C-alpha cells in the first residue's frame, strides 16, 4: 500500500531527478565518533531549550508544540524511530486517546510502545527504513496503526522512489501552483537552481505555517518537524536528556529536541507523514474578506496595516467605538475583547486588547492577528 506509492515514483515520467543543487550542504551517514555528548546538566538543558524556543518563536506561535513541556519517548538503542516519531506526531496533535485510548504516561512506557507495537512490527517487516515500511507492517498487526491510517486527517506523502539511487522525486511537488508558491517563498532564481530542495521545503513550511507538524524520514532517522526559521528547522526528537552535537552534519540535540540545517532536510527527506488538522488552502480562503460582508470590510480596514480608513469615513467612526462580533459599536462597553484561537495563548480571552499591524496585544503578550477573533465583551 504505502511502499507501492513510494515505488511508483520511479515509474512516473513526470518525476524529477535530484541533481546538483547547492542549497543543501550535503549530509553524512552517522558513524561512531561523529557525535559528542556535551552535557547532562539539567539547568544547561533548560537554558539551551529556552534559547532554541526564542530562535524559532515566530513559527512556534502557530504550532501545537511546546519546547519546554515536551516529554519525549527515548527510543534508546532500538531502531524504532519511524514508530516513535509517529507516537510523537499523535501526541503533539492531542490524539492520544483517539488512537491509543491511553494517556501519554502509559504510551511512553516500553511495555506499550516497544513491546506491543515496535517488536511485532519489527518481526513482521524485518529492516525498516521509512514510514512506508513501518505503516505497511503495522496496519497488518497493530490496531493503533490501523486507527492512524483510517483517521480522516492522516496523510502519507512519498518523496523519493526506491530505485535509481533514490534520486527520483515525486511529481506532486512540481505542479505550476506549487512551483509558484516555492518561488514566492525562496525566490525564482533559487528555485530554478534547487527545484527539489525548495519545492519540498515549501510543502513542509506551508504545513508549519498553518500549525501542522510533519514527521520526516531523513538520513536514517525519523522525527517530527515542529518549526523553522531562515536557516534551520526544529525537530521533536526521540533520545534522552542531554546536549549532543553531530559534528559531521552540524546538528544539535538538546533534551528531546534537535536543531538541523533545514535545506539538508528538504533535499534528502525520503517520505513524510502528518495530520492535516488545518488545510493551507482553507486557511487562506478564510482570511479573504467576503465580497458583500460589511463586517469583513470594517475588519479589513481596522486590522490590515497598509489599509487605513479615511479620516472622515464611516468606517473610521465605527472603529472609533469598540467592535462587537457583528461589527457594530458596542453601546456600553469601552473594551475590545479578543478570543485567541491557536498558538501558545489558545483558549485565552483578552480584554482591552490592542491591534497593531499584524498582531494583537494584551500588555506585553501578543498573538498573530490570524489567530484572533473579536467577541462580545462579558
Distance CA 160, CA 317 (A): 57
| Single residue among 283, 300, 315 that ends a domain in this structure | 283
**pLDDT of res. 305:** 43
* Domain span holding position 334: 289-375
Radius of gyration of the chain (CA): 23
48 and 6 share one domain: yes
200 and 92 share one domain: yes
279 and 327 share one domain: no
- Mean pLDDT check: name the lowest of 4-13, 255-264, 285-294: 285-294
Lookup result for grid cell 531523513: 218
| Single residue among 250, 283, 316 that ends a domain in this structure | 283
332 and 276 share one domain: no
161 and 63 share one domain: yes
294 and 364 share one domain: yes
102 and 139 share one domain: yes
231 and 355 share one domain: no
334 and 209 share one domain: no
**pLDDT of res. 243:** 93
**pLDDT of res. 39:** 86
103 and 224 share one domain: yes
Banded pLDDT at 339 (limits 50, 70, 90): confident
Banded pLDDT at 368 (limits 50, 70, 90): confident
Supply the pTM of this predicted model.
0.74
**For strand 232-236 and strand 243-246, is the pairing parallel, antiparallel, or unpaired?**
unpaired
Average pLDDT, the chain: 84
What is the count of structural domains for the chain?
2
213 and 347 share one domain: no
Mean pLDDT on 195-205? 97
| Single residue among 253, 283, 313 that ends a domain in this structure | 283
Is residue 73 within 8 Å of 238, Cβ to Cβ?
yes
CA separation (Å) from 70 to 201, 221, 254? 25, 19, 12
Lookup result for grid cell 490496531: 143
**pLDDT of res. 35:** 66
Residues 6 or more apart whose CB falls under 8 angstroms from that of 145 comprise 86, 117, 121, 134, 135, 138, 139
162 and 308 share one domain: no
Distance CA 311, CA 309 (A): 6
Amino acid at each position: 500500500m504505502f511502499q507501492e506509492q513510494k515505488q511508483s515514483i520511479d515509474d512516473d515520467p513526470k518525476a524529477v531527478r535530484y541533481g546538483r543543487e547547492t542549497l543543501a550542504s550535503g549530509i553524512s551517514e552517522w558513524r561512531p565518533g561523529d557525535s559528542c555528548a556535551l552535557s547532562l546538566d539539567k539547568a544547561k538543558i533548560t537554558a539551551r531549550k529556552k534559547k532554541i524556543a526564542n530562535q524559532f518563536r515566530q513559527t512556534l506561535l502557530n504550532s501545537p508544540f511546546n519546547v519546554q513541556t515536551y516529554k519525549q519517548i527515548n527510543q534508546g538503542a532500538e531502531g524504532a524511530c519511524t514508530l516513535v516519531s509517529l507516537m510523537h506526531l499523535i501526541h503533539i496533535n492531542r490524539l492520544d486517546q483517539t488512537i491509543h485510548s491511553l494517556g501519554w504516561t502509559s504510551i511512553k512506557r516500553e511495555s506499550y510502545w516497544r513491546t506491543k507495537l515496535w517488536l511485532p512490527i519489527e518481526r513482521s517487516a524485518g529492516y525498516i527504513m521509512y514510514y512506508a515500511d513501518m505503516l505497511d507492517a503495522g496496519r497488518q498487526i497493530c490496531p493503533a496503526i490501523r486507527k492512524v491510517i483510517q483517521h480522516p486527517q492522516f496523510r502519507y506523502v512519498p518523496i523519493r522512489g526506491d530505485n535509481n539511487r533514490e534520486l527520483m522525486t515525486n511529481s506532486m511537488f512540481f505542479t505550476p501552483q506549487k512551483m509558484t508558491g516555492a518561488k514566492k517563498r525562496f525566490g525564482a532564481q533559487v528555485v530554478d537552481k534547487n527545484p527539489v530542495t525548495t519545492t519540498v521545503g515549501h510543502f513542509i513550511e506551508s504545513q508549519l505555517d498553518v500549525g501542522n507538524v510533519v514527521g520526516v524520514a531523513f538520513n536514517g532517522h525519523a522525527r517530527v518537524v515542529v518549526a523553522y526559521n531562515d536557516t534551520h528547522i526544529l525537530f521533536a526528537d526521540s533520545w534522552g536528556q542531554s546536549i549532543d552535537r553531530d559534528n559531521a552534519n552540524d546538528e544539535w540535540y538538546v533534551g528531546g529536541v534537535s536543531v538541523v540545517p533545514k535545506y539538508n532536510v528538504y533535499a534528502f527527506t525520503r517520505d513524510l507523514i502528518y495530520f492535516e488538522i488545518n488545510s493551507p488552502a482553507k486557511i487562506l480562503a478564510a482570511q479573504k474578506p467576503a465580497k458583500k460582508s460589511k463586517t469583513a470590510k470594517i475588519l479589513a480596514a481596522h486590522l490590515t496595516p497598509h489599509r487605513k480608513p479615511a479620516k472622515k469615513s464611516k468606517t473610521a467612526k465605527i472603529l472609533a467605538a469598540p467592535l462587537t462580533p457583528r461589527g457594530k459599536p458596542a453601546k456600553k462597553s469601552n473594551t475590545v475583547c479578543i478570543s485567541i484561537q491557536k498558538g501558545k495563548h489558545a483558549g485565552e480571552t483578552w480584554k482591552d486588547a490592542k491591534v497593531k499591524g499584524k498582531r494583537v496585544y494584551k500588555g506585553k503578550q501578543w498573538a498573530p492577528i490570524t489567530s484572533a477573533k473579536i467577541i462580545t465583551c462579558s
